[in-house]
Amino acid sequence: MRKFNIRKVLDGLTASSSSASQQQQQQQHPPGNREPEIQETLQSEHFQLCKTVRHGFPYQPSALAFDPVQKILAVGTQTGALRLFGRPGVECYCQHDSGAAVIQLQFLINEGALVSALADDTLHLWNLRQKRPAILHSLKFCRERVTFCHLPFQSKWLYVGTERGNIHIVNVESFTLSGYVIMWNKAIELSSKSHPGPVVHISDNPMDEGKLLIGFESGTVVLWDLKSKKADYRYTYDEAIHSVAWHHEGKQFICSHSDGTLTIWNVRSPAKPVQTITPHGKQLKDGKKPEPCKPILKVEFKTTRSGLC
């Protein structure tokens, strides 16, 4: 009986398959008709990277403002950038040419305008009522450093506090100085023998826009009458001020100090605060003053059913 060799059968199948494949390739690509080589013409200079979108919270934020009517949030950064956020998916990016840090932002509420104060002592008025926000006016302070700004609701007067302790008043419509200046020595008079330090707070009384509360870094607070151009009351505390806020009735205000204390004052009782508390300090026995702790950098005076918050 003849033996069956499976290896020879497999070798024959392989040779037959290879021959058929070569014939098929020759039919598709006859000799002399080779595919042309593709010449690469793209060069590195044909490509350029560019920003198409910014995502996430701005880097190194340094100032914040909110328009409660138009629901617009403005964020300034240490590199002079300005980001505007509206409803979800709506935002805009702007940049101050100087690149100086944004130290404060103030909306002209429901007017489509914004004031930015920079670390180079320049104020800018932005027009937001157009597709691309742009600067309408700029004002440069050459002899004094800007430390704080306040723009009352629906007011055309912008109050600008300086490192020297003075307050200048700017007409927002023309963006020029009005000539009305509250000098530091006139504000404190005999309440202190030394310079009160930079202006760290300015706000108008919620019930009387003609009364201006001025906070100096040293701890002195002055209630200034804009019409009579003199101080009504002066309040003194021995710790530096970080923040000041009015009670909504305009009869009291609260200050946060460098030692972690909060002082609450009655407007008509400048001799001493009606209450002094240290929320994060260790309370000592025998009525001693609590140990100093980290300052509260920002305070707001709000009332709830359970009391102050």
Residue 270, pLDDT score: 95
Supply the pLDDT for residue 45.
81
What's the rounded Cα separation, in Å, for the pair 63 and 60?
A: 10
pLDDT one-digit tens code per residue, 211-235: 999 999 999 999 999 999 999 999 9
Looking at the chain, the domain(s) classified CATH 2.40.10 span 57-139
Q: Is the pTM of this model over 0.85?
A: no
Cα–Cα distance, 151 to 114 (Å, whole number)? 10
pLDDT given at position 4? 52
CA angle 15, 21, 26 (to 5 degrees): 125
According to the model, what pLDDT value does residue 12 have?
59
CB 264 within 8 A of CB 252: yes
| Cβ–Cβ under 8 Å, residues 273 and 254 | no
**What pLDDT does residue 274 have?**
95
User: Would you write out the chain's pLDDT as a tens digit for each of its 309 residues?
Assistant: 555 555 554 565 555 555 555 555 555 555 555 666 666 777 888 888 877 777 778 899 999 999 999 999 999 999 999 999 998 888 899 999 999 999 999 999 999 999 999 999 999 999 999 889 999 999 999 999 999 999 999 999 999 999 999 999 999 999 999 999 999 999 998 666 789 999 999 999 999 999 999 999 999 999 999 999 999 999 999 999 999 999 999 999 999 999 999 999 999 999 999 999 888 877 666 666 777 788 889 998 887 765 565
- Look at residue 47 in the predicted model and tell me its pLDDT: 83
141-308 under CATH 2.130.10.10, yes or no: yes
Single out the residue of 126, 213, 128 nearest to residue 172, CA to CA. 126
Residue-level pLDDT at 71 = 94
Distance of CA 21 to the CA centre of its chain: 72
CATH 2.130.10.10 positions along the chain are: 141-308
C-alpha gyration radius of the chain: 35
> What are 19's two structure tokens?
């021959």
Angle, CA of 182, 258 and 237, to the nearest 5°: 55
For residue 51, list its beta bridge partners. Answer: none
User: What CA–CA distances, in Å, run from 120 to 81, 92, 113, 212, 218?
Assistant: 14, 23, 21, 26, 23
Q: Which pLDDT belongs to residue 88? A: 85
Question: Which architecture does CATH list for 57-139?
Answer: Beta Barrel (2.40)
Q: Give the pLDDT score at 87.
A: 87
The pLDDT, as a whole number, for residue 185 is: 92
Q: What is the percentage of the chain residues whose pLDDT exceeds 70? A: 83
